[in-house]
Structure 1
Amino acid sequence: MITCVVHYVIDPAKIGDFERFAAAWMDLVQRHGGVHHGYFLPAEGASDAAMALFSFPGLAEYEVYRSRFGSDPEFVEADRIRDESGCVLRYDRTFMRPLLPPGGSGR
């Protein structure tokens, strides 16, 4: 399994737009072979940090999903929310693998 961790710098004044963007991507990941672990948004105080985590069985499966960027109309539409609203100021992506406790799911 490979997990993509995306760190965002968002415009706090556009959190509603970011939530629409996030909902669209959660749906796309789920429908295209991944497991979305959610978006994590600022909860208290002024913050411009947000994060998303989603997993695919492996890098090959992630690459199939990624191949749809820029061509699949649903993927283009999801990115349009971000681009037209300006809710995301910057983001970076890191790939990680989980190390879980023996016999458990990390809970």
Structure 2
Amino acid sequence: MAVTCFIRYQIDPFQRDAFRRYAEAWAHIIPRCGGDLIGYFLPHEGSNDIAWGLIGFDDMAAYERYRAVLRADAQGRANFEMAQAQRFILREERSWLEDVAATRLPAQTVAPR
């Protein structure tokens, strides 16, 4: 995994369970469509309306292939439509992060530069 799509969600804190169901659905959809789901995270302490999703890809070309497959995926479309209908996502921001492999893998598996 070389790049990670970091998604920051502002959610309706009164619809936390709806966002949880939305996130749980992606656990099956994202890997099937070609993404490496790192995880979704709900607020625990502090802010009660910020959640995150992290999805890894080998490169941006892999992400583009994933997007094409996702657009054709019936469960993916249904999950997006459910979120729009229930309006529990108030705002969504995406950032792209470069993987620093030495910080995620055991040191002995990372080749020195």
TM range, normalised to the smaller chain? 0.7 to 0.9
Which is helix-richer, 1 or 2? 2
> How many residues align structurally?
106
Normalised TM-score (structure 1): 0.86
Contact map agreement 1:7 1:50 (CA 8 A) in 2: yes
Moved more, 13-22 or 27-36: 27-36
Higher deviation after alignment, 6-15 or 61-70: 61-70
The answer (yes or no) to whether the contact 1:6–1:51 under 8 Å persists in 2 is yes
Runs of 4+ residues over 6 Å off in structure 1 = none
Whose radius of gyration is greater, 1 or 2? 2
Q: Secondary structure at the match of 2:45?
A: coil
Unmatched tracts of structure 1, length 5 or more = none
Query: Which of 1-10 and 56-65 deviates more?
Result: 56-65
Q: What RMSD, in angstroms, separates the aligned Cα atoms of the two structures?
A: 2.1
- Residues 10 and 87 of structure 1 are in contact (CA less than 8 Å); yes or no, is this contact kept in structure 2? yes
CA distance in 2, matches of 1:69, 1:29: 8
- Residue correspondence of structure 1 range 28-39 to structure 2 within 5 A: 28-39=29-40
The DSSP-based 3-state class of the residue aligned with 2:99 is coil
**2:97 is matched with which residue?**
96
Query: Please, what TM-score do these two structures have when normalized by structure 2?
Result: 0.82
Corresponding letter in the other structure for 1:105: L
Contact 2:33 2:70 in 1 (8 A): no
SS at match of 1:92: strand
Separation in structure 1 between the aligned mates of residue 97 and residue 46 of structure 2, nearest angstrom:
29
Instruction: Give, in angstroms, the shift of residue 79 of structure 1.
Output: 0.2
Could you say if the C-alpha distance between residues 99 and 34 of structure 1 is closer, same or farther in structure 2, counting changes exceeding 3 Å?
same
Correspondences of 1:24-103 after superposition (within 5 Å): 24-101=25-102
Matched residue of 1:67: which SS?
helix
Query: Gaps spanning 5+ residues in structure 2: where?
Result: 108-113
Identity %: 32
